[in-house]
């Protein structure tokens, strides 16, 4: 029996031992699933932002710990890190038919969703480089007690920084930097800084501290602070004065940025106490106002890295007599850009043997640059050098990076073995010579720079072919020859190229098949050249390619299906070529990252995809104009939820708009012009519930030259963001809706050549308030309502559109006279009232239109003398006034001798009519007053009971109004106090 118990106990102990070993050894490798509450919190945040580039596309499924940008504790499963930083430069700038579109990888929202407050274990939060539309930093961030990293920089927050951030006692990094002067963060009291005792990194650049109390808190009570950036914070000398009285100020600081503030005068002496300081930025510190400005550099304390940009320094400051060479020998990085240094290169800088990097850009240096053997980086952009040899480019054997942008050398650079004879080998890794060179491409000289990794020669006047020697640079990663006058074929490139930009030149020949060997290539831009032949099939081997642009060439042949294998491609622009054949689903097979697609102006190109096709991508810009689209309106567009630009002009589309179109999010720029689309406009995408994030895009609705019929729907008025509305040359009928006045951002409205009828509304109703043209269409610069059936007088209010440049009301049924105040439209360049039934004289004020270059008043019933003077003297074409039988005077041949008083008679007649109308007007008022007065007062005189009820009602009404006003005032006071 004892043995049985012993065995049982031993078995239990073994099980327990094995379980503990398993728990100790294996538990750390088990990933716990995140809680439902935290998963829902993250999903609510996802749904609160606009994610154009699918940053959060992986946020699906039940385990949020497996999502990208989310990190959890492996044991508890609690979310500890959110890496939601956007990238402003990931796509760069797209040009679409002259419009610039800046596509960024970022999240856009009206505020940070409060759902994030449920992530109570957060230690790391990065929301930088997103767009929160000028909203406030949420107060709940102060509840993340474990937070050690908080980055809200460049996220378009504004308003007062919540003091709740001071609760984050474990915070080591706080970055609130911005570079936007519109949505500016500010602080009214910096006492919350006292709670951040663990802080090591603080960036408050562009935060307005000018009115903040306790500003000195930024410099005290943070013994661990290593990096402090206070650029453009509105600080003054008074703030620096408080620092000189303390020896404990910023004791551990290594990096201090005080640039772009309001400092002036003497160099602050307290920097001498900052023995650990390695970097100091005092740019825009105006030293020229100091009492002894020429000697101050000999007294200041120097640091290894110094930025003294825009400090008013000139040559005298940098003379050997005013520099302490014992002290300056410590400087390794020196920025003297945007100062007043001119003429000769400062000799004092030549003797600074410790100097590794020197920035002298945006000065007025024009002499030969000496050789500084230890210097590695030199920036001489924006000076007055006349010749590339003055920079010493062929003698700088040790420089690794040379930047000489925008010098506009007056002498062509030479290409000779002599240029490289002084250096057995060049150390150049980066050369930026943009906007400075002209002449033949220096093939021999650049070909010898075997260490080159980046060469930028854009915006020059270089001619001749791209040398083969350039293509043989094995280490070359980036080559930018944008906007030159280069000719000849594209050479064969080898090596590690990641960026090749050859656009805006005169290159010819075909794109070489060898381009497919550049496996590391991410950007290939060959646009606006004279290239011919097909797109090479080898392009499909560029597995890293993100941007491929060949627009505005003469490429022909079919588009290789291999393009569909470029899984990282984001920007595909093959527009304005002579490509032909069929584009099918296979061309997009794996393009899941595609955001910009432009195939426009390839008239022999045809799109044939099935109606059930669901593309793998979510486009932001789709340009398919002037290519043939088969199977009607593209059904696959219903899957595109991110579209901000859609152009399908001249694409052979027929039939009505599909009903599903009205349910997709609003498309900022929608161009369906020059097709044969019929039916009403009611199916346009005007979903009010969609988030408006199209601020960077031109808001246009271009539907001209179609077969649209019926009336302009009231639903169109919801597009209050529209800047351009083109409905010309359709079959629209009915009246102009008054609600069109809701479009207060409108620049151009073209409704010509339809069958619109009725009156031109002189005022429109918006939210129950009558608004005249002056406040409604305040931005309109062009209005075209010609060739309709509008029948009314020209509204006088229309003449108050002071910014109007073009007004065309021709070929309607308008009657009455031309408004006398037509001369108020001072900006008018073109005015056309022809082909109507207008009567009366041409108003003399029309002569005040000083910019008028096109005028047409023909084929009306105008009479009297044609006005003269000012700009009208230059408009002497008789056709301007032809078809008005009773008009006379130049430039018409009809003399006014018998009709000179006609205008005066017309004015007297109008005055007589006005006088008669006034008499009847006052008589009507008197009769109405008499009837109303005795109709009410007379009854009250004889009805005592009515009088009592009336007075009682009046007293009760006054009491109610009084009580309502008092309650309203008290409520406003309480709201102000709580704020």
What pLDDT, in 10s, does the model give residues 479-531?
999 999 999 999 999 878 999 999 999 999 999 999 999 999 999 999 999 99
Determine the Cα–Cα distance for residues 954 and 949; give it in Å rounded to an integer.
9
* Relative orientation angle of helices 944-978 and 902-942, to the nearest 10 degrees: 110
Band of the pLDDT at 916, cuts 50, 70, 90?
very low
User: Is a pLDDT exceeding 50 seen at residue 583?
Assistant: yes
For the ranges 445-454, 799-808, 962-971, the lowest mean pLDDT is seen at 962-971
* More confident call, 68 vs 387: 68
For the ranges 140-154, 211-225, 477-491, the lowest mean pLDDT is seen at 211-225
Distance of CA 961 to the CA centre of its chain: 49
For the ranges 237-241, 304-308, 813-817, 950-954, the lowest mean pLDDT is seen at 950-954
pLDDT (0 to 100) of residue 717: 87
* More confident call, 529 vs 762: 529
Band of the pLDDT at 269, cuts 50, 70, 90?
low
Q: 502: closest CA among 548, 438, 539, 544?
A: 548
Average pLDDT over residues 873-892: 91
* More confident call, 422 vs 622: 622
User: Is a pLDDT exceeding 50 seen at residue 965?
Assistant: no
For the ranges 360-369, 567-576, 639-648, 917-926, the lowest mean pLDDT is seen at 917-926
User: Is a pLDDT exceeding 80 seen at residue 538?
Assistant: yes
pLDDT (0 to 100) of residue 909: 41
How do residues 395-405 score in pLDDT, each as one tens digit? 888 999 999 99
Determine the Cα–Cα distance for residues 816 and 812; give it in Å rounded to an integer.
13
pLDDT (0 to 100) of residue 242: 60
pLDDT (0 to 100) of residue 302: 79
* More confident call, 694 vs 139: 139
pLDDT (0 to 100) of residue 416: 62
Residues 365 and 380: beta-carbon distance below 8 Å: yes
- Helix ranges (DSSP H) in 699-800: 773-776
pLDDT (0 to 100) of residue 325: 64
User: Is a pLDDT exceeding 70 seen at residue 222?
Assistant: yes
DSSP H or E segment with residue 74: none
Per the CATH hierarchy, to which homologous superfamily does domain 791-896 belong?
A: Ribonuclease Inhibitor (3.80.10.10)
- From residue 35, alpha-carbon distances to 32, 39, 76, 78, 760 in Å are 9, 6, 9, 7, 62
How do residues 712-725 score in pLDDT, each as one tens digit? 998 898 888 888 99
User: Is a pLDDT exceeding 80 seen at residue 451?
Assistant: yes
Average pLDDT, the chain: 82
Q: Strand, coil or helix: what is 692?
A: coil
DSSP H or E segment with residue 548: strand 547-549
Residues 633 and 610: beta-carbon distance below 8 Å: no
Q: Where are the domains of the chain?
A: 791-896
How do residues 664-700 score in pLDDT, each as one tens digit? 888 989 999 999 999 999 999 876 544 344 456 788 9
Please count the other Cβ atoms lying within 10 Å of the Cβ belonging to residue 426.
Answer: 22
Average pLDDT over residues 97-113: 72
* Percentage with pLDDT > 70 across the chain: 79
DSSP 879: G
Q: How far apart are the first and last CA of the chain?
A: 81
For the ranges 48-57, 354-363, 650-659, 942-951, the lowest mean pLDDT is seen at 942-951
Distance of CA 566 to the CA centre of its chain: 28
Band of the pLDDT at 956, cuts 50, 70, 90?
very low
């Amino acid at each position: 029996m004892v043995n049985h118990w012993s065995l049982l106990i031993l078995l239990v102990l073994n099980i327990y031992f094995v379980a503990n070993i398993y728990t100790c050894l294996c538990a750390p490798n088990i990933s716990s699933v995140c809680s439902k509450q935290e998963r829902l919190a993250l999903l609510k945040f996802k749904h609160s932002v606009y994610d154009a580039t699918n940053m959060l596309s992986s946020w699906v499924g039940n385990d949020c710990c497996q999502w990208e940008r989310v990190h959890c504790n492996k044991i508890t499963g609690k979310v500890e890190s959110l890496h939601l930083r956007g990238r402003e430069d990931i796509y760069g700038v797209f040009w679409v038919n002259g419009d610039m579109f800046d596509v960024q990888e970022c999240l856009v929202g009206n505020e940070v969703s409060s759902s994030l407050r449920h992530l109570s274990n957060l230690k790391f939060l990065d929301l930088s480089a997103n767009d929160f539309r000028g909203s406030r930093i949420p107060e709940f961030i102060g509840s993340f007690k474990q937070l050690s990293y908080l980055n809200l920089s460049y996220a378009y927050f504004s308003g007062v920084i919540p003091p709740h951030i001071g609760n984050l006692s474990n915070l080591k990094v706080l970055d609130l930097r911005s570079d936007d002067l519109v949505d500016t963060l500010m602080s009214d009291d910096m006492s919350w800084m006292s709670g951040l005792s663990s802080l090591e990194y603080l960036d408050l650049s562009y935060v307005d501290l000018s009115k903040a109390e306790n500003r000195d808190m930024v410099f005290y009570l943070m013994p661990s602070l290593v990096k402090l950036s206070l650029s453009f914070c509105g600080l003054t000398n008074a703030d620096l004065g408080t620092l000189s009285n303390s020896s404990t100020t910023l004791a551990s600081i290594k990096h201090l940025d005080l640039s772009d503030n309001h400092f002036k005068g003497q160099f602050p002496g307290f920097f001498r106490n900052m023995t650990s300081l390695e970097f100091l930025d005092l740019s825009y510190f105006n030293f020229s106002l100091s009492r002894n400005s020429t000697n101050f550099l000999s007294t200041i304390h120097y640091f290894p890295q110094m930025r003294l940009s825009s400090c008013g320094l000139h040559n005298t400051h940098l003379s050997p007599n005013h520099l302490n060479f014992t002290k300056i020998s410590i400087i390794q990085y020196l920025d003297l850009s945007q100062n007043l240094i001119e003429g000769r290169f400062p000799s004092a800088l030549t003797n600074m043997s410790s100097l590794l990097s020197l920035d002298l850009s945006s000065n007025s240096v024009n002499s030969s640059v000496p050789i500084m053997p230890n210097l590695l980086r030199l920036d001489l952009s924006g000076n007055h050098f006349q010749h590339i040899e003055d920079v010493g480019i062929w003698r700088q054997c040790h420089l690794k990076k040379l930047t000489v942008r925008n010098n506009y050398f007056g002498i062509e650079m030479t290409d000779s073995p002599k240029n490289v004879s002084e250096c057995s080998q060049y150390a150049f890794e980066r050369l930026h010579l943009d906007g400075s060179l002209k002449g033949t491409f220096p093939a021999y000289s650049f070909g010898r720079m075997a260490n080159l990794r980046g060469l930028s020669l854009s915006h020059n006047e270089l001619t001749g072919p791209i040398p083969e020697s350039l293509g043989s640079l094995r280490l070359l990663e980036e080559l930018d020859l944008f906007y030159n006058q280069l000719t000849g074929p594209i050479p064969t490139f080898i090596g590690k190229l990641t960026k090749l930009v050859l656009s805006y030149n005169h290159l010819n020949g075909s794109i070489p098949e060898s381009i497919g060997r550049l496996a590391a290539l991410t950007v290939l831009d060959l646009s606006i050249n004279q290239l011919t032949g097909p797109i090479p099939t080898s392009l499909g081997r560029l597995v890293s390619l993100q941007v491929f642009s060949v627009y505005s060439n003469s490429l022909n042949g079919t588009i290789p299906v291999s393009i569909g294998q470029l899984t990282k491609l984001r920007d595909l622009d093959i527009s304005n070529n002579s490509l032909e054949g069929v584009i099918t689903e296979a061309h997009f097979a794996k393009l899941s990252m595609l955001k910009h697609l432009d195939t426009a102006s390839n008239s022999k190109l045809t799109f044939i995809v099935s109606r059930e096709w669901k593309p793998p991508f979510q486009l932001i810009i789709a340009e398919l104009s002037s290519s043939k689209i088969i199977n009607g309106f593209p059904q696959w567009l219903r899957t595109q939820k991110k579209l901000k630009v859609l152009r399908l002009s001249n694409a052979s589309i027929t039939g009505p708009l599909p009903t599903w179109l009205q349910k997709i999010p609003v498309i900022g720029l929608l161009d369906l012009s020059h097709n044969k689309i019929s039916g009403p406009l009611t199916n346009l995408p005007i979903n009010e519930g969609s988030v408006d994030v199209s601020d960077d895009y031109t808001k246009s609705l271009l539907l001209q030259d179609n077969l649209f019929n019926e009336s302009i729907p009231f639903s169109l008025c919801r597009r209050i963001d529209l800047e351009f509305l083109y409905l010309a040359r359709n079959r629209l009928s009915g009246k102009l809706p008054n609600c069109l006045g809701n479009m207060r951002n409108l620049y151009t409205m073209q409704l010509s050549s339809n069958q619109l009828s009725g009156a031109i509304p002189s005022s429109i109703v918006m939210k129950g308030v009558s608004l005249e043209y002056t406040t409604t269409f305040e931005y309109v610069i062009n209005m075209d309502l010609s060739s309709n059936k509008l029948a009314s007088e020209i509204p006088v209010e229309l003449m108050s559109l002071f910014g109007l440049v073009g007004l065309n009301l021709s070929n309607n049924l308008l009657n009455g006279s031309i408004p006398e105040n037509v001369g108020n439209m001072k900006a008018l360049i073109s005015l056309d009232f022809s082909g109507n039934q207008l009567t009366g004289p041409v108003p003399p004020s029309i002569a005040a239109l000083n910019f008028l270059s096109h005028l047409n008043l023909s084929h009306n019933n105008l009479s009297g003398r044609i006005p003269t003077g000012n700009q009208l003297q230059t408009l002497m074409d008789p056709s301007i006034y032809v078809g008005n039988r009773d008009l006379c005077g130049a430039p018409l041949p009809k003399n006014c001798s018998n009709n000179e008083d006609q205008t005066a008679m017309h004015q007297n007649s109008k005055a007589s009519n006005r006088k008669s109308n006034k008499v009847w007007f006052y008589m009507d008022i008197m009769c109405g007053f008499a009837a109303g007065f005795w109709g009410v007062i007379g009854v009250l005189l004889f009805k005592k009971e009515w009088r009592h009820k009336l007075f009682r009602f009046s007293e009760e009404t006054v009491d109610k109004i009084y009580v309502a006003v008092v309650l309203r005032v008290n409520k406003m006071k309480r709201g102000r106090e709580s704020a």
